[in-house]
């Protein structure tokens, strides 16, 4: 009873009144063990402040994040306390300086502690990647300075020797191609596609059907989709339709492509529907939930790809939308040309879909175009890949059509079944000799 009273007092001090009613004899004992840690954190956070600092001195501007809303301010303070407790417990929580304003807003919208913990882990991994990039950048800069110094030493030679030096910035047979030159080349292809290329629509109207994490992934896939299309020999003329500039998806995409709204940028972005731009009889909605397969690529059609990442919600939203609008539907002939592995999903990313469409538009060869499907999703593994994934059980190696036991299995305990006949290897010297030929040398 004393532990519950002590825990209630601390929670009341921290204004976490919604958790007081949840205390009982079981969780109060656990809470009391962390009393000293929580109280030290409370003392640091309980002082009047405009922002909050973590143990590294990184400040969070609460006023700007919550826009002065007292309810959100209180909730954010509780989340800051929660993050500090997780750091003290050794959980993967990044410093406050690595959490942006948009991420704090997303943390405020998450309903449970478990969801926030997963978000903290995701942000922690992002911060570590950022640190690694900065470290590599510093190493690269250091190598560049060393190379610059060596190059300076090379130039301090007599003109007779300098004339015979073959190197970059000396005598060279090839001109350096800059990244800006390549960008101009790719953009010129897109400008030609706007005039002469086939139209392709990306439906960006699924923002409200995705979580924030799915919108992040979708925006990144749209950026990769644009890059894959731009680098192809025969790119599509892409139209982003139903693209609300105030939506979370388009705002995130604008961070990846800052120049997407510039007049000179070769990308068509429309807030209106594709029904207001193209004839309805030319539109074909690509959805994996329909029955009609694409046997041949139609060069006169305007294909529509739904920008939807459905890791949580697997409902056939694109199918329902196409039926509601009365559009023709089709799906890629994946099952006809591919043999999927057990337990692997048949979903493809947006950049993989457009890579398939680009290749089949160019040569009409589905076998060649479907090479963009990840090999891990298929059953076409080689013998080496089987051995890497082997466990302590018998494996069937397709190229040799023999039963190949793992080297870690005791030989006397092996048994196998083939054509509904169970055979034991004990006492059968002939079979034992055959199997020894396939057992790997453990040394």
Q: Where are the domains of the chain?
A: 2-123, 179-377, 390-436
Length of the chain: 443
Please name the residue that has the structure tokens 């050794």. 90
Pairing mode, if any, of strands 237-241 and 268-269? Answer: parallel
CA atoms within 13 A on the CB side of 61: 7
Provide the whole-model pTM.
0.64
H helix and E strand count, the chain: 17, 12
Q: Alpha-carbon distance 364 to 298, whole Å?
A: 10
Pair of tokens at residue 63: 């006023």
With H, G, I as helix, E, B as strand and everything else as coil, classify residue 62.
Answer: helix
Pairing mode, if any, of strands 302-306 and 199-203? Answer: parallel
| pLDDT by 10s per residue, the chain, length 443 | 444 454 444 444 444 444 444 444 455 455 555 545 555 555 554 444 444 555 555 567 777 788 778 888 888 888 888 888 888 888 888 888 888 888 888 888 888 888 888 888 988 998 999 999 999 999 999 998 988 887 777 666 666 666 666 666 666 677 778 889 999 999 999 999 999 999 999 999 998 888 888 898 999 999 999 999 999 999 999 999 999 999 999 999 999 999 999 989 999 999 999 999 999 999 999 999 998 999 899 999 999 999 999 877 778 899 999 999 999 999 999 988 888 887 667 889 999 999 999 999 998 889 899 999 988 888 854 444 444 444 433 333 334 333 444 444 444 444 444 433 334 434 444 444 444 444 444 43
Question: What Cα–Cα distance (Å) separates residue 214 from each residue in 113, 118, 207, 252?
Answer: 19, 14, 9, 11
- CA 57 from chain centre, in angstroms, equals 31
DSSP letter for each residue of 179-218: HHHHHHHHHHHHHHHHHHSPEEEEE---GGGS-HHHHHHH
| Beta partners for residue 299, in sequence order | none
Q: Alpha-carbon distance 65 to 72, whole Å?
A: 9
Q: Alpha-carbon distance 238 to 200, whole Å?
A: 5
Q: Alpha-carbon distance 299 to 284, whole Å?
A: 12
- Label residue 106 exposed, middle or buried (CB < 10 Å: 0-12, 13-18, 19+): buried
Q: At the top level of CATH, which class does the domain 179-377 belong to?
A: alpha beta
């Amino acid at each position: 009873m004393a532990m519950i009273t002590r825990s209630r007092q601390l929670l009341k001090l921290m204004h976490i009144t919604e958790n007081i009613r949840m205390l009982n004899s079981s969780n109060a004992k656990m809470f009391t063990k962390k009393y000293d840690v929580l109280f030290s954190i409370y003392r640091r956070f309980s002082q009047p402040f405009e922002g909050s600092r973590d143990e590294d001195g990184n400040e969070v501007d609460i006023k700007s994040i919550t826009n002065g809303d007292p309810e959100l301010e209180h909730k954010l303070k509780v989340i800051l306390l929660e993050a500090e407790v997780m750091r003290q417990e050794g959980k993967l929580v990044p410093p406050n300086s690595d959490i942006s304003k948009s991420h704090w807003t997303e943390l405020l919208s998450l309903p449970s502690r478990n969801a926030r913990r997963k978000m903290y882990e995701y942000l922690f991994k992002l911060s570590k990647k950022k640190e690694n990039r900065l470290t590599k950048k510093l190493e690269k800069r250091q190598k560049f300075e060393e190379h610059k110094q060596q190059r300076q030493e090379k130039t301090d030679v007599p003109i007779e020797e300098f004339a015979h030096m073959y190197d970059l910035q000396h005598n060279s047979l090839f001109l350096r191609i800059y990244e800006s030159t390549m960008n101009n080349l790719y953009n010129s292809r897109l400008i030609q596609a706007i005039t002469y290329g086939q139209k392709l629509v990306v439906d960006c109207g699924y923002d409200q059907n995705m979580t924030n994490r799915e919108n992040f992934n979708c925006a990144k896939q749209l950026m990769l989709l644009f890059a894959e299309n731009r680098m192809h020999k025969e790119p599509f003329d892409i139209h982003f339709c139903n693209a609300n500039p105030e939506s979370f998806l388009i705002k995130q995409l604008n961070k990846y492509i800052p120049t997407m709204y510039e007049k000179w940028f070769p990308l068509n972005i429309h807030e209106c529907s594709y029904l207001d731009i193209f004839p309805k009889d030319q539109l074909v909605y690509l959805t994996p939930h329909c029955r009609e397969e694409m046997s041949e690529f139609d060069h006169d059609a305007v294909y529509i790809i739904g920008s939807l990442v459905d890791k949580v919600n697997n409902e056939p939203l694109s199918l329902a939308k196409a039926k509601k609008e009365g559009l023709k539907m089709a799906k890629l002939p994946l099952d006809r040309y591919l043999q999927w592995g057990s337990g692997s999903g048949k979903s493809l990313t947006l950049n993989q879909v457009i890579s398939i469409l680009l290749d089949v538009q160019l040569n009409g060869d589905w076998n060649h175009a479907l090479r963009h499907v990840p090999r891990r999703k298929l059953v076409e593994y080689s013998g080496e890949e089987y051995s890497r994934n082997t466990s302590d059980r018998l494996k069937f190696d397709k190229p040799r059509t023999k039963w190949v036991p793992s080297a870690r299995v005791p030989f006397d305990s092996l048994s196998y079944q083939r054509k509904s006949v169970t055979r034991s290897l004990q006492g059968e010297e002939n079979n034992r000799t055959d199997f020894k030929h396939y057992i790997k040398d453990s040394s």
